[in-house]
Amino acid sequence: MRDADEGRGNALYGPQPDVSGAAGYPDAPPRVGFFTDTSVCIGCKACEVACKEWNAIPADGLGLTGMSYDNTRGLGADSWRHVAFVEQRRPLGGQEPGVAHDDVDVFAAASRLGTDAPAPGPAPETAPAERISPLSPEGRTELRWLMSSDVCKHCTHAACLDVCPTGALFRTEFGTVVVQEDVCNGCGYCVSACPYGVIDQREDDGRVWKCTLCYDRLGVGMEPACAKSCPTDSIQFGPLEELRERARERVARLHAAGVTDARLYGESPDDGVGGAGAFFLLLDEPEVYGLPPDPVVTTRDLPGMWRHAAVAAASLVALAAAGFARRP
Amino acid sequence: MSESDVTRDGVRDARPGREAMTGVHAGRRGRRRGRSERPMVPDAEFASYYGLPVLNKPTWKPLDIAGYLYLGGLAGASSLLAAGGQLTGRPGLAAPAKLGAAGAVSLSLAALVHDLGRPARFLNMLRVFKPTSPMSVGSWLLAGYAPLALTAAATEVTGRYRPVGSAATVAAAFLGPAVATYTAVLLSDTAVPSWHEGYRELPYVFAGSAATAASGLALAAAPAAQAGPARRLAVLGAALELGAFRVMKRRMGLVAEPFEQGRPRLLLRAAELLTTGGAALALLRGRDRRPALAAGAALLTGSAALRFGVFHAGVASAEDPAYTVAPQRERLTAS
């Protein structure tokens, strides 16, 4: 079936280099997106706040979840950026403060106390010259704190857009996916179709809402509010091709520095959604951050579904015909 | 400078923090002790973010949407019985089938509009035609089918414009099977694991379930002398429904679990018993109407229980990250 779809210009599945062109924009600007580099995210939630303010998203309740510093829980109708906080009993990639003093026998040293204790010797050679890290060395309890700002992926093959029956969801000239709130009738199909759990229905409003990648700001040449407000540039906005290039370099540098956990998520045009417009550099498996490890756009299988439904409809006719075939 | 801008020439004034290296200040580069950061033995269990679901839960109201799946099937298959009854000279079978189809499709439309977040905008469903959206296809199907089914029933009741009614009955029978089976695509074309993974068999399950519901209604309402086709359709439909469901569950693997737990399990067990029992009762023939009435009631409830069971199983599969993460992780490990 994959081959059959490729024959149709990857309308439903597979790589699609010209996503705006395929959507009917002849002279579209380059596709834009986000590269969220979680290795420099500090969990300040400025993106969440900036997004809420710029897009005038209503409050969705104050509650403490007990999930580290995350009280947003996840993406939804009223949270278009969500900072995940993961606490792990694992050392940070590559961290080695060099103050373990493995070669010192403290009991032997204590036994000499009060007698003629020798003057402390020079610092071990492995110790850093000036800075001392507060982190404990390997072998003791260690903690790493992963933070990651999640957002709508603006998929190349967006299931929400494919299944929307009203045309409220559409592809913009920038290759992003946006809901027209004056068209949406709140059928909720996109909510079940999204493989990332991004879009959701606002309860008192009935319509669905999600990140627009600040379509209004893009139109006048500004970058989205979250990227603008990010103090560490963990959220980077720009042309997707450029971001992918930058991300690959960043991963290579992190690997060279010993951070072997670093990996990209959603950047490959060969993945199940044809590559995400918003992709990530993660320091652990995607599911640890609440992301699906191998999402596939549900409409990949739609031709097969229609075929089975057609055969099933024919079988129903056949059953009825068999029922009428013989007079009782 | 505290801000960066994306210009045509690239990023200007990017912050230096972007290039920060984890752990570099602590002086270590490369791995000296040979202890790997990641455990070499894969976790026996799947990882998740505080056990929260990956997917957002379907917003559909069970009574509206599962009810619609059921009523749509009842209407579609009833139209087949109506046309068959009309063409083979069984007016006693055709009449209740026409009325059943019209009643069921009217209730379905009401349920569908009621489920919308903005019911006043229900006509937006006909704003575009999108083959990639089963709901759009379904809206157009219903827009074509409902007037036909209602015309067929109206001419049956009033006895006027009979030729128009006959034409409408036959035309409704062409669209009816599609109305009955497209609802399986409606559920499967989602990211909900237990709905999506059954996409190959679910249309057959729904076709069988539609057949049992419609024949149940016909059995209960048509005179015994003319109910022969309904009797046979009940047995054939039950076999298709239960057989396809078995195959589906076997193929689905882990994501078939929600069908076997909690409320879906009860509903689906009830569906199995009622459908089997109803089909068996349907074979009984005689002067006594009571077995036919019981068979009809059992088949109608059994079909409804199946739709609600499938609906709730899907919702349960979306609420548990295991059904999203574990099969995907398995796929990645295998490839």
- Domain coordinates in residue numbering, chain A: 17-92+142-297
Which residues lie below 8 Å from residue B114, measured CB to CB, with a gap of 6+?
Answer: B61, B64
Of the candidate ranges A77-86, A111-120, B113-122, the one whose mean pLDDT is the lowest: A111-120
For B119-156, the three-class secondary structure string (H helix, E strand, C coil) is HHHHHHHHCCCCCCCHHHHHHHHHHHHHHHHHHHHHHH
Q: Report if residue B34 sits inside a domain.
A: no
Residue B32 binned pLDDT confidence (cut-offs 50, 70, 90): very low
SS3 B162: helix
Determine phi and psi for A183, rounding to 5 degrees. Answer: -110, -35
What percent of chain B is predicted at pLDDT more than 70? 87
d(CA A184, CA A208): 7
d(CA A313, CA B182): 8
DSSP code of B224? G
DSSP assignment of B20-82, as one string?
Answer: --TTGGGT--S-SS---SS-SSPPSSPP-STT--SSPPP---HHHHHHHHHHHHHHHHHHHHH
E strands within A104-260?
A: 144-151, 169-171, 177-179, 200-201, 208-209, 235-239
For residue range A167-178, what is the model confidence (pLDDT) as tens digits? Answer: 999 999 999 999
Q: Residue A195: which H helix or E strand, with range?
A: none
CB-CB neighbors (< 8 A) of A261 in chain B:
37-38
* pLDDT score for B294: 96
* pLDDT score for A98: 53
Q: Report if residue B56 sits inside a domain.
A: no
For residue range B155-206, what is the model confidence (pLDDT) as tens digits? Answer: 999 999 999 999 999 999 999 999 999 999 999 999 999 999 999 999 999 9
* pLDDT score for B202: 98
* pLDDT score for B16: 53
Query: Which residues 218-247 of chain B have a CB within 8 Å of chain A?
Result: 225, 227-233, 236-237, 240
Distances (CA, A) of A301 to A73, A159, A209, B248, B313: 31, 11, 26, 16, 21
* pLDDT score for A77: 96
Residue A134 binned pLDDT confidence (cut-offs 50, 70, 90): very low
Q: Which two structure tokens, joined as six digits, stand for A124?
A: 């071990």
* pLDDT score for A130: 44
The pLDDT of residue A39 is above 90: yes
Long-range contacts made by residues A52-55, C-beta under 8 angstroms, separation at least 24?
A52/A80, A53/A225, A54/A214, A54/A217, A54/A225, A55/A80, A55/A212, A55/A214, A55/A225
* pLDDT score for A193: 98
For residue range A142-162, what is the model confidence (pLDDT) as tens digits? Answer: 678 999 999 999 999 999 999
* pLDDT score for A1: 41
Which residues lie below 8 Å from residue B270, measured CB to CB, with a gap of 6+?
Answer: B301, B302, B305, B309
CB-CB neighbors (< 8 A) of B191 in chain A:
159, 192-195, 295, 298
What is the mean predicted confidence (pLDDT) over B32-37? 37
Q: Report if residue B83 sits inside a domain.
A: yes
Residue A227 binned pLDDT confidence (cut-offs 50, 70, 90): very high
How many domains are contained in chain B? Answer: 1
| Secondary structure tally for chain B: helices H, strands E | 10, 2
Q: Report if residue B188 sits inside a domain.
A: yes
Angstroms from B296 CA to nearest CA on chain A: 16
Q: Which two structure tokens, joined as six digits, stand for A226?
A: 């979250």
Of the candidate ranges A111-115, B280-284, B314-318, the one whose mean pLDDT is the lowest: A111-115
Rounded to an integer, what is the distance from CA B266 to the centroid of its chain?
Answer: 18
Cβ distance of A186 and B81 shorter than 8 Å: no
Q: Report if residue B282 sits inside a domain.
A: yes
d(CA A220, CA A223): 9
Helix axes B321-334, B290-319, angle to 10 degrees: 70
What is the mean predicted confidence (pLDDT) over A79-90? 91
SS3 A118: coil
Cβ distance of B23 and A193 shorter than 8 Å: no
* pLDDT score for B3: 53
The pLDDT of residue A263 is above 70: yes
Cβ distance of A316 and B80 shorter than 8 Å: yes
Range of the domain at B136: 62-319
The mean pLDDT value of chain A amounts to: 87
d(CA B317, CA B254): 10
What is the mean predicted confidence (pLDDT) over A196-224? 96
ipTM above 0.85, yes or no: yes
The mean pLDDT value of chain B amounts to: 90
Which residues lie below 8 Å from residue B139, measured CB to CB, with a gap of 6+?
Answer: A165, B125, B126
Q: Any idea of the CA torsion for B248, B250, B254, B258, to the nearest 10 degrees? A: 60
Query: Which residues 11-40 of chain B have a CB within 8 Å of chain A?
Result: 11, 14-15, 17-33, 35-38
Q: Which two structure tokens, joined as six digits, stand for A307?
A: 């075929």
CB-CB neighbors (< 8 A) of A160 in chain B:
none
* pLDDT score for A106: 72
Asked whether A85 and A147 are in contact (CB, 8 A), the reply is yes
Fold of A17-92+142-297: Alpha-Beta Plaits (3.30.70)
Which residues lie below 8 Å from residue B154, measured CB to CB, with a gap of 6+?
Answer: B102, B165
Cβ distance of B81 and A40 shorter than 8 Å: no
Enumerate the β-bridge partners of residue B10: B7
d(CA B1, CA A219): 24
Cβ distance of B190 and A193 shorter than 8 Å: yes
For residue range A49-72, what is the model confidence (pLDDT) as tens digits? Answer: 999 999 999 998 888 998 999 999
CB-facing half-sphere around the CA of A206: CA atoms within 13 A? 16
Which of B20, B135, B199 minimises the CB distance to A301? Answer: B199
The pLDDT of residue A122 is above 90: no
Interface check B54 vs A, CB under 8 A: yes
Cβ distance of A305 and B185 shorter than 8 Å: yes
- Closest alpha carbon within chain B to A258: B30
* pLDDT score for B235: 97
* pLDDT score for B4: 61
Q: CATH number, domain at B165?
A: 1.20.1630.10
Q: Report if residue B106 sits inside a domain.
A: yes
Cβ distance of B128 and A12 shorter than 8 Å: no
Q: How many cross-chain Cβ pairs, A to B, lie less than 8 Å apart? A: 351
d(CA A105, CA A101): 9
Q: Report if residue B4 sits inside a domain.
A: no
What is the mean predicted confidence (pLDDT) over B203-224? 97
